[in-house]
Amino acid sequence: MGVWLFPPEAGKGSFRAAGTYLLHIELGQPAQVAFGRFQGGRVWEMPASHYIYVGSALGQRGAMTLPRRLMRHASRSASRPPHPIRAELAQAFAAVGLERLAQPPQRPKRLYWHVDYLLDLLSAHLVDVTAIGDGVRRESEWARWLSAQPALHLIAPSLGARDLPGETHLWRLPEVGWWQRTLIPYCNRAMWSHRENA
């Protein structure tokens, strides 16, 4: 379980409250999941496996900021327990000076995004979070890159991309090591490439 904030030397003032993020979700047992009204409320057979989701949060304050969005993802609805990584997220954002925004939802979480329906399962565990806090919307760029990775398993076109028609933002990982071996280096390269071109 881990939280990676980029830029890697992030300190107070260098990590912004807006950017793009990736979630690594482990589903401990097979589950039937309806992703809200996606494809008419169809129920999907989700095997026990590892999944990856890409999203962004570009608001400057409140619930639309990156810390608040990730704290929301790390929470479950009603009286269900939060994901254990939520405490680590709060600590990571406090270390970059954003503790004021890294607060859990004040009201019971209402399922809205497609990924909410997966994360709300007690058998689903949010195990890794990677975020680039540079104020740049990268989710479409990352979604194209992820869609081109032959190792990833497509669940359904457009899944996870409720607000970006034509894209897909949720996939099944081939195995757990893919996250550290392939994804973290890609995020590092993306961060430095953006800096060099700025």
Domain ranges for the chain, please list them: 2-197
Q: Give residue-wise pLDDT tens across range 113-142.
A: 999 999 999 999 999 999 989 888 889 999
Task: Find the mean pLDDT for residues 77-97.
Answer: 94
Can you give the length of the chain in residues?
Answer: 198
Stretch among 65-74, 142-151, 187-196 having the lowest mean pLDDT: 187-196
Name the nearest CA neighbour of 140 among 20, 6, 18: 20
Q: Residue 10: is its pLDDT beyond 70?
A: no
Retrieve residue 128's tokens.
């890794």
Q: Give residue-wise pLDDT tens across range 74-83.
A: 999 999 999 9
Task: Find the mean pLDDT for residues 34-46.
Answer: 96
Q: Residue 9: is its pLDDT beyond 70?
A: no
pLDDT at 6: 81
Give this prediction's pTM: 0.92
DSSP at 155: -
Provide, rounded to the nearest whole percent, the portion of the chain with pLDDT above 70. Answer: 92
- Residue 72 in contact with residue 116, Cβ under 8 Å? no
pLDDT at 15: 86
Residue 128 to residue 125: CA distance in whole angstroms: 9
pLDDT at 46: 97
Q: Residue 181: is its pLDDT beyond 80?
A: yes
Q: Give residue-wise pLDDT tens across range 148-176.
A: 998 899 999 999 998 888 899 999 998 87
Q: Residue 192: is its pLDDT beyond 80?
A: no
